[in-house]
Chains A and B, each alone.
Chain A
Amino acid sequence: MAMGCSIKSAKFATAAFAAQSVLAVLISVVMIFAPRGNDTAAMLYPMTAEAQRALPELLSQRDTLIVSRAAWDGAFVIRGARPSFFNALMERGVLVLNASAPGCGPAPQGLIR
């Protein structure tokens, strides 16, 4: 039974280390892809159809300027006032990303005409 507990504990420890590793990767991703506080450009990516329908409302803000379509389908690169990362994600299902992060820039043909 002690051996069983030891094995179970070892599995938990391994899972904990794996979770910590995943968390580290997530942190790295967040650090890379999350928009900075002083950034004016950001990429808005709707994660659901509802978010895609709500996205124009976010883009219709007065200080928001749509720069281009993003490389990702349905995403836009904006400049100016941008919604809060957590609020946009939680309320509208829109992911606000760092526009300068790899892959998050405007699509080559994405400039809005």
Chain B
Amino acid sequence: MIAHIDELRRRGVVTVTMGGWLVVVAQAVIVVSHGANALVALALSALLNLIPTWCAMRGRTDLNARLAIGVMAAFQPALILYAMEGSLWQIDTHLYFFVALAALTLMWDIRPIILACALIALHHVVLSFFAPDWLFWGGGGFVRVMIHAVATVMIGTLLCWTTLCLAKMMRNIEEAREHSENQALKLKEAGVSLQRALTKLEKEQEVSARTRAEISKVRKIEYQKVAAQFESSISDVTHAVAATANMLERSAGELKKIATEAGNEARDVAQCANAASRSASTVATGVAEMSQSISNIAVNVSQQSELTAQATDRSGGGGKAIGSLSQQSQTIGEATRAIVRIAQRTDLLSLNAAIEAASAGAAGRGFTIVAHEVKALAGQAAEAATEIDEILSGVHEGTLEAERSFAGIDAVIAELNQAALSIRSDVESQQLSADTIEEHARETAGEVDAMAERTEALSQRAAAARKLSDELEHAAGALAQNVRNLEKSTEEFMGNLQAA
């Protein structure tokens, strides 16, 4: 699409220049057909095309370029005529002047047309004076030249008018187009501004998104780093705490075990202490009792001594009594024998009575029974008297033996008295020892009691320690559970943190 008149002029420059080179091609054909005379025309035609070609290649459409094109358009047909000199067709080639003038309308400017018209008319007039044969073969005269010149001017005028109208129309079109282009440009600028704003907004959004992404990335990296450090530290801490908890739990268990054992041992010791205390008390009591017994023994020994004396006395008395008893027993023996004799005579008497009762018959039956009873009593009395005698014999022997015994008793009592004295001395010594032992036993019992109290306290403390170790074990277990919960929470936190 042609944008404006400059573009048309640019195309016109190119087109007319190409027309000039077509003339060169035509000149080459003429060289072939007409010989060397056209060679000069060919060279000149080519020279004449150089500057328009330069303008066309440079895209120049300014006034000078257009005038140069006009000069070229005015002289190319002249060179054709020059090359066609002597040909019957030379006069016909004048038509190409009009073609050249018409081609200059492509410049959209009347000045190249006017220039070309002027040059055409001028060189026709000049050549009509200097080289009429070259201009019109066989000559044409001034009138002929003027006819051509007037026609050229008329055509030039019409072409100028047409060009002006077309240029005016083109300018109107350009103005309208420029107006529309301005509007479009404004719209485009607005669009560009809008697009720029959108681009800026998009860039800002991209930058913001990138910044957010970078911040998020950096934050994530920092989170991960912090999480790793946190995890590492927490892991270390949890492991340390878990190890500590386990160690604490084991220690609590061992402490509990030790406390239990200590409690048991303390209890055993307390029991032993109590037993020892009781034993010590018992010993003390026993020693006291022994001391008392020793005192009693001492007293008894004293009493024994006295009793020994008394026993000696009484033993003497006993001897005497035994002697007297021996005499009495002899007397009793004699009485007993008298009784035996009486019993024997009673037996005889009862026998006589029975004989007499039997003689009395039935009336004597009761008496017979009494006689029998008396006989039985007499037998029993004899037997008892015999037994008494026998007893008296034994008593006599016993008294003898008692006398011997009393004599031995006296000796023994004497020895006993002697031993009692010795015992008394020993008892006194034992009394002192027993008192000392009692005192030590009481002290020992007190110390054992104190030890028992301390052992009890130790047992209570062991119990407290066991209770404390239970609590410690429970706390260690709770701590281990808390550590596991902490590890689980840490893992969840790490998972959430790493997923964030």
- Does B22 belong to the interface (CB within 8 Å)? no
Tell me which residues across on chain B come within 8 A of A19, comparing CB atoms.
Answer: 51
Known: A13-B62, A102-B130. A21 touches B71 (CB 8 A): yes
Separation of A73 and B75 alpha carbons in the complex (Å)? 32
Whole-angstrom distance between the Cβ of B14 and the nearest chain A Cβ: 16
Contact (Cβ within 8 A) A27 B75: yes
Q: With CB as the reference atom, state the residue of chain A lying closest to B36.
A: A37
Contact (Cβ within 8 A) A20 B71: yes
Choice from A24, A34, A100 contacting B48 with Cβ under 8 Å: A24
Contact (Cβ within 8 A) B40 A16: no
Which of B77-85, B261-269, B278-286 contacts its partner?
B77-85
Contact (Cβ within 8 A) A32 B68: no
**How many residues in A have their beta carbons less than 8 Å from beta carbons of B?**
26
- Does A85 belong to the interface (CB within 8 Å)? yes
Whole-angstrom distance between the Cβ of B446 and the nearest chain A Cβ: 127
- Does B103 belong to the interface (CB within 8 Å)? no
Tell me which residues across on chain A come within 8 A of B130, comparing CB atoms.
Answer: 32, 101-102
Choice from B37, B119, B131 contacting A37 with Cβ under 8 Å: B37
Tell me which residues across on chain B come within 8 A of A38, comparing CB atoms.
Answer: 37, 85-86
- Does B340 belong to the interface (CB within 8 Å)? no
Within 55-101 of B, Cβ neighbours of A (below 8 Å) are at 55, 60, 62-65, 67-68, 71-72, 74-75, 78-79, 82, 85-86
Encoded as 1 (CB less than 8 Å from any B CB) or 0, chain A from 6 to 43 comes to: 00011001101101110110011011101011100000
- Does B367 belong to the interface (CB within 8 Å)? no
Tell me which residues across on chain B come within 8 A of A31, comparing CB atoms.
Answer: 44, 78-79, 82, 127, 131, 134
Whole-angstrom distance between the Cβ of B129 and the nearest chain A Cβ: 8
Known: A20-B51, A24-B48, A24-B74. A32 touches B64 (CB 8 A): no
Separation of A85 and B35 alpha carbons in the complex (Å)? 13
Tell me which residues across on chain B come within 8 A of A37, comparing CB atoms.
Answer: 34-38, 85-86
Choice from A16, A17, A32 contacting B131 with Cβ under 8 Å: A32
- Does B142 belong to the interface (CB within 8 Å)? no
Whole-angstrom distance between the Cβ of A85 and the nearest chain B Cβ: 7
Tell me which residues across on chain A come within 8 A of B86, comparing CB atoms.
Answer: 36-38
Separation of A31 and B79 alpha carbons in the complex (Å)? 8
- Does A48 belong to the interface (CB within 8 Å)? no
Known: A32-B130, A34-B40, A101-B131. A16 touches B85 (CB 8 A): no
**How many residues in B have their beta carbons less than 8 Å from beta carbons of A?**
37
- Does B341 belong to the interface (CB within 8 Å)? no
Contact (Cβ within 8 A) B51 A36: no
Q: With CB as the reference atom, state the residue of chain B lying closest to A19.
A: B51
Q: With CB as the reference atom, state the residue of chain A lying closest to B126.
A: A28
Contact (Cβ within 8 A) B64 A85: no
Within 86-100 of A, Cβ neighbours of B (below 8 Å) are at 98, 100
Tell me which residues across on chain A come within 8 A of B74, comparing CB atoms.
Answer: 24
Choice from B48, B60, B62 contacting A23 with Cβ under 8 Å: B48
Tell me which residues across on chain A come within 8 A of B337, comparing CB atoms.
Answer: none
Whole-angstrom distance between the Cβ of B269 and the nearest chain A Cβ: 117
Contact (Cβ within 8 A) B36 A16: no
Choice from B36, B37, B67, B79 contacting A27 with Cβ under 8 Å: B79
Tell me which residues across on chain A come within 8 A of B133, comparing CB atoms.
Answer: 100
Whole-angstrom distance between the Cβ of A39 and the nearest chain B Cβ: 9
Tell me which residues across on chain A come within 8 A of B75, comparing CB atoms.
Answer: 24, 27-28
Contact (Cβ within 8 A) B51 A23: yes
Whole-angstrom distance between the Cβ of A26 and the nearest chain B Cβ: 8
Contact (Cβ within 8 A) B134 A16: no
By a beta-carbon cutoff of 8 Å, the part of chain B in contact with chain A is 34-38, 40, 44, 47-48, 51-52, 54-55, 60, 62-65, 67-68, 71-72, 74-75, 78-79, 82, 85-86, 119, 123, 126-127, 130-131, 133-134
Q: What 6 new A-B contacts, CB under 8 Å, besides A27-B79, A28-B126, A31-B44?
A: A17-B51, A20-B67, A23-B47, A24-B119, A31-B82, A102-B130
15 contacts between A and B (CB under 8 A): A14-B64, A16-B51, A17-B64, A20-B52, A20-B71, A21-B71, A23-B48, A23-B51, A24-B71, A27-B75, A27-B78, A31-B127, A32-B130, A32-B134, A37-B36
By a beta-carbon cutoff of 8 Å, the part of chain A in contact with chain B is 9-10, 13-14, 16-17, 19-21, 23-24, 27-28, 30-32, 34, 36-38, 84-85, 98, 100-102
The 5 A-B residue pairs whose C-beta atoms are closest, nearest first, are: A37-B37, A13-B64, A17-B64, A20-B68, A20-B51
